[in-house]
């Protein structure tokens, strides 16, 4: 199928899914793709493709109703039928510390440090599940990107999103999850979902083996022997051990144990994988290697399984160029890594993963919206624009800035730089604006009321680890 025709068809289909105020909303998305820098939401109205007045932007966000489920099904139709579909899940924060009149704000962990350098900030948390189409690179195509409400937690939201996505996929996916999701509640709640899971584990967890056969007396045992990840004396004999040379990481040793489980999920066995970088003499380079857990029907070969997890970093991590250092620090929580200092130390630039691209280039956190509904409608437009860039990647001509180098494999940001030429060739489905006169404004003598100030919601975590499972 012609790429231009495919892009035009996709734009027309998404235009119909916007429902109300779809003309202004669609022109707003085109303005975002063409605007590299903006200091306020009204700056987007200065883009030539936005043919309406600046106030129409706020009206569009207020009135539009993106149909999430229809958009998700539209996204899944673009996924090719392949043997293994890779999905990655994570969540991020939209900081709103200066919005006391915004309802349902919660305390969220902020990666770049909140006000005064504090790691916690009032705002909204958003959960994302994305398709990772390439083995390397920074492309992550979100299928769902939704707010974690004040009565939800990241694990429950991720489970719900996985339930919505998996029935519409052409084949059984393998999903990649960060260290926060490597726990018993997540394994239990996703047991009936047709998806394999590859999760990262904390290095101080205590797992359990299969129980021995029933002796006929007393209550049958539920757990077998202990398996402490940070205590080699509790390790049983490995099921499989391989060593291989990696072009980026050097010599790597991968060990596999089967039949392990969390204390709270004895009916859901897992395969545990230990990944270690080795010196020339065969000793580990670091004291804290990377631990992974696989739960599913058919596990990929061990030599390929651990590499699949590195593809999760297209959603929220660093470039594959700095993976050697990332594996050295893999057991340090991701949100305490000093990204800028690490990049300077290695003399490389971090490539834009989707969350960074979302906040910096698509201006996701730019507007100061007044209601949670407006935030949700604005956030629903972010996956749509990312998919539009993905479909246009093969027909754009590289348009680098004077200080940028030529590229053969385009990133989302580089495709966005070349979108002006594409939008000139594809027609917009949005209709021309109609003059409607001027608003009468606020009536003289009508009283004004101060907006209600809402308290910040404090949520409890859904998973309270046992003393031996607490992080150090």
The DSSP code for 470 is: S
| Dist. CA 5–CA 122, nearest whole Å | 44
- Round to whole Å and give the CA distance between 330 and 337: 10
Provide the greatest CA pair distance for the chain.
Answer: 87
H or E stretch covering 84: none
- Return all residues near 37 (Cβ < 8 A) that are at least 6 apart: none
Dihedral, CA atoms, 106, 112, 117, 119, nearest 10 degrees? 40
Distance CA 305, CA 176 (A): 11
CA nearest 416: which of 132, 5, 60, 138? 138
**Residue 434 burial by Cβ neighbours in a 10 Å radius (0-12, 13-18, 19+):** exposed
Rg for the chain, CA atoms, rounded: 24
Query: How does strand 85-95 pair with strand 120-131?
Result: antiparallel
- What confidence score (pLDDT) does residue 332 get? 35
Tell me the average confidence (pLDDT) per consecutive run of 10 residues in the chain, 472 residues long.
Answer: 87 93 94 93 93 91 93 93 88 93 91 72 94 90 95 94 94 93 94 94 93 86 92 92 85 92 94 88 71 92 89 66 36 36 33 82 94 96 95 88 86 91 89 83 89 90 46 38
The pLDDT assigned to 289 comes to 84
Q: In this predicted structure, what is the pLDDT of residue 333? A: 36
Q: What is residue 135's three-state secondary structure?
A: coil
Residues 307 and 275 sit within 8 Å (Cβ to Cβ): no
Q: In this structure, what token pair is assigned to residue 469?
A: 């499972």
**CA gap 401, 403 in Å, rounded:** 6
Q: Which two tokens stand for residue 210?
A: 């299969």
pLDDT of residue 11: 94
What phi and psi values does residue 8 have, to the nearest 5 degrees?
-65, -40
pTM, entire model:
0.86
Q: Residue 120's CB: how many other CB atoms inside 10 A?
A: 14
Give the pLDDT confidence score for residue 18 in this predicted structure. 93
Positive/negative CA dihedral, 432, 438, 440, 441 = positive
Distance CA(414)–CA(404), nearest Å, equals 10
Cβ–Cβ under 8 Å, residues 194 and 172: yes
**In which residue are the tokens 């030599």 written?**
303
- Give the pLDDT score at 286: 65
**φ, ψ at 40 (rounded to 5°):** -155, 165
- Quick one: 18 exposed, middle or buried, by C-beta within 10 A (0-12, 13-18, 19+)? buried
Q: Taking CA 356 as the corner, what is the angle to CA 397 and CA 124, rounded to the nearest 5 degrees?
A: 135
């Amino acid at each position: 199928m012609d790429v231009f025709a495919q892009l035009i068809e996709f734009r027309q289909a998404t235009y119909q899914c916007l429902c109300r105020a779809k003309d202004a909303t669609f022109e707003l998305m085109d303005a975002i793709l063409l605007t590299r820098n903006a200091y306020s939401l009204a700056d987007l109205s200065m883009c030539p493709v936005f043919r309406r007045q600046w106030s129409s932007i706020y009206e569009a966000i207020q009135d539009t109703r993106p149909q999430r489920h229809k958009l998700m099904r539209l996204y899944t139709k673009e996924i090719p039928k392949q043997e293994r579909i890779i999905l990655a899940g994570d969540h991020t924060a939209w900081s709103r510390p200066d919005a006391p009149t915004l309802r349902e704000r919660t305390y969220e962990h902020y990666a770049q440090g909140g006000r005064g350098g504090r790691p916690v900030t009032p705002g909204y948390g958003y959960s994302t599940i994305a398709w990772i189409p390439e083995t390397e690179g920074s492309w992550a195509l979100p299928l769902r990107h939704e707010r974690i409400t004040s009565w939800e937690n990241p694990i429950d939201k991720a489970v719900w999103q996985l339930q919505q996505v998996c029935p519409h996929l052409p084949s059984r996916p393998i999903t990649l999850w960060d260290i926060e999701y490597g726990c018993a509640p997540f394994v239990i709640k996703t047991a009936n979902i047709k998806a394999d899971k590859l999760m990262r584990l904390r290095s101080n967890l205590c797992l359990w083996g299969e129980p021995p056969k029933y002796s006929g007396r007393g209550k049958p045992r539920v757990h077998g022997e202990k398996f402490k990840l940070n205590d080699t004396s509790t390790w049983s004999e490995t099921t499989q051990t391989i060593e291989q040379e990696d072009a980026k990481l050097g010599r790597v040793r991968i060990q596999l144990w089967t039949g392990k489980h969390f204390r709270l999920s004895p009916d859901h066995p897992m395969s545990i994988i230990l990944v270690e970088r080795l010196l020339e003499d065969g000793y580990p380079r670091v004291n804290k290697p990377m631990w992974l857990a696989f739960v599913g029907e058919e596990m990929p070969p061990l030599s390929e399984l651990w590499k699949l997890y590195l593809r999760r970093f297209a959603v929220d991590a660093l470039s594959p160029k700095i993976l050697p250092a990332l594996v050295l620090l893999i057991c340090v929580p991701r949100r305490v890594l000093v990204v800028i200092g690490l990049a300077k130390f290695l003399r490389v630039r971090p490539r834009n993963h989707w969350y960074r691209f979302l906040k910096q280039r698509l201006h996701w956190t730019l507007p100061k919206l007044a209601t949670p509904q407006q935030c949700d409608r604005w956030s629903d437009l972010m996956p749509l624009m990312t998919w539009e860039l993905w479909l246009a990647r093969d027909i754009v001509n590289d348009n680098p800035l004077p200080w940028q180098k030529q590229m053969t494999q385009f990133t989302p940001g580089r495709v966005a730089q070349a979108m002006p030429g594409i939008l000139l060739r594809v027609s917009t489905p949005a209709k021309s604006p109609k003059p409607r006169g001027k608003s009468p404004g606020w009536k003289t003598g009508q009283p004004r009321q101060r907006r209600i100030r809402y308290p910040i919601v404090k949520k409890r975590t859904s998973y309270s680890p046992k003393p031996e499972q607490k992080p150090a």
